[in-house]
Each structure stands twice: as C-alpha cells, then as structure tokens.
Amino acid sequence: MHEHDDYPVPGRMERRAVDPRESVRAGRLWWDGAADAYQADHGDFLGDVDFVWCPEGLTEADIGLLGDLDALRERRVLEVGGGAGQCGRWLRARGVREVVSFDLSFRQLQHARRIDEDSGTRLPTVQADVQRLPFSDAAFDVVFSSFGAFPFVPSADDALAESARVLRPGGLLVFSVTHPVRWSFPDDPTEHGFTVHQSYFDRRAYVEEDDHGNAIYVEHHRTVGDWVRGIAGAGLVLRDLTEPEWPEGHDRVWGGWGPVRGRMIPGTAIFSAVKP
C-alpha cells in the first residue's frame, strides 16, 4: 500500500470492523508517523503551491470544480484534512483571501509551516478532526477536500454532517475519495490488479495492524450509494460526480493508481454538493 521504507510497518493486513475510537487513534498516529515519508514521496507531484485533486493529476486549474476564481476570491473557504495544505495554499496564492486548512495530524501541519516558509505563501491551519469541527455554523461558503479525512473516518455521516453544518445556505462542498469500485480490486496498479477479489458490498474497513492486533492504519469503504445517501442525509444536494480519466502521457504510479489500470477503471470519485 505504501511505497517508502519509512512508513509505519504493519504486522498484518485485513478487512474487519473497527471501533470508531480505534480508527481515529490509528489515523492520527499513522499520519504523524508517515508524514515525512508521505511528503518525500508525493510532495513534488502535489507541488508546494498547487491544487491536485487526485493521483490522475487533475488540477483545480484544469477543471474549476470550486467555481470561478474571481468569485472565489471573495469567499470563505475551508480545506478538510489538508495535510501540508498544498491546495489551500494554491487558492491563497491566487488571491482567495479567507482560506483555512485543518488536519488531524500535527506532523502534517508542521510540513505546512515548512512549505509556508519555503514558498512565501502562508496558509492558516488548525489541528482538528473532521467529525467534530471547531467552527461555527455557516462559517464558510466553500468546503473542499482532496483525499483528506473522508476516506479515513469511521462515520462518513458525521463528517458530512459537520461539513454541511459549517457551510452557509447556498454553499458548496466538493471532495475527492478513492472511487468505490476500486475496493473490489487489489491495491496493484499492474495487469495483476484486474481481478475482482472481494465484494464491492463488503463495508469492512481495510486495516493494517501491529503485532498486538492494534490498528495502525485504517481506510473505510463506502459504496457510491452510501456516499449519495450520506450527502442527502446531511441535507445537501448532489450536483455532480466527477470520475477523472487517466490522461495520455501520465505515467506516475501512486499505490494502486497507475496508467495500466487507470485507462480501464476509475480510481477517483469527486463529489460536488450544495447546501440548499
């Protein structure tokens, strides 16, 4: 699952139910332990001041899912699970005045400070869990996430409800996650990764454990229908589901994402929803 030797090493991997507290604890510890290796592996691809939605390399400059940049400059924007805040920093550099990024992992936020200094573009950040946000109701016009937080939380419903709560009426939520169909396939971007080996309907989490059976990395699976119901349940209206296609000439492999499978099946789903 992870490319670099410096990631926390699991004793074993399995699909199983995970207690919510065990899941959040694993999330914080794993990202604190893995942040240095993650930024070393993916920092160049993400760019210090760039907004990449997914391993397919689709950028916000390409697709404009958050809407027109001129209008966005006057909006209050929240980045969910922003890691080192590359996306939020890109918005700041393009003149969006109010952008805040939050992340569960303190080490990821330390990388945000490092990149602030290197790039000269400062991004305000907060340490927080998406399931309990420290922001008031209707505080933001736009809430977005590029693979941050949503794939890692035991309750997508809580995360979506919190995102909806901090949006003003008329506000926009856009977030990218692993495409649900990918969960049926092994985490292998080569020809060997074309065999369906587990049920799409199996909602048990992917768990890496230490030698004592404690979860050290957890990712949660939802079907497309689960995401749609979660969005509707949070009082939002689904506007679009973007499934980025693998671009010609893009050869970079990221875990299970790569050109061989990317040309055949989707790797990323980006949900766009509005608060009525």
- Which positions touch ligand SAM (CB under 6 A)? 24, 27, 31, 46, 81-83, 87, 103-105, 108, 129-131, 146-149, 152-153
Residue placing its CB nearer to ligand SAM in the complex, 178 or 246 = 178
> Min. distance of Cβ 195 from ligand SAM in angstroms?
26
Residue placing its CB nearer to ligand SAM in the complex, 126 or 238 = 126
> Min. distance of Cβ 35 from ligand SAM in angstroms?
7
Residue closest to 1 by CA, chosen among 43, 29, 38: 38
Residue placing its CB nearer to ligand SAM in the complex, 91 or 104 = 104
Handedness of CA 259, 263, 265, 268 (dihedral sign): positive
Cβ partners under 8 Å of residue 22, min gap 6: 214, 215, 218
Q: What CA–CA distance (Å, rounded) separates 197 from 183?
A: 9
> Under DSSP, is residue 38 helix (H, G, I), strand (E, B) or coil?
helix
Residue closest to 141 by CA, chosen among 166, 175, 158, 122: 166
Residue placing its CB nearer to ligand SAM in the complex, 81 or 256 = 81
Residue placing its CB nearer to ligand SAM in the complex, 62 or 74 = 62
Residue placing its CB nearer to ligand SAM in the complex, 83 or 189 = 83
Strand order in 98-103's β-sheet? 125-127, 98-103, 76-79, 140-146, 167-178, 268-274, 237-242
Dihedral (C-alpha) 178, 183, 186, 190: value to the nearest 10 degrees?
A: -40
> Min. distance of Cβ 89 from ligand SAM in angstroms?
11
> Min. distance of Cβ 133 from ligand SAM in angstroms?
9
> Min. distance of Cβ 25 from ligand SAM in angstroms?
11
Cβ partners under 8 Å of residue 109, min gap 6: 84, 85, 103, 125, 127
> Min. distance of Cβ 209 from ligand SAM in angstroms?
18
Dihedral (C-alpha) 178, 253, 27, 146: value to the nearest 10 degrees?
A: -50
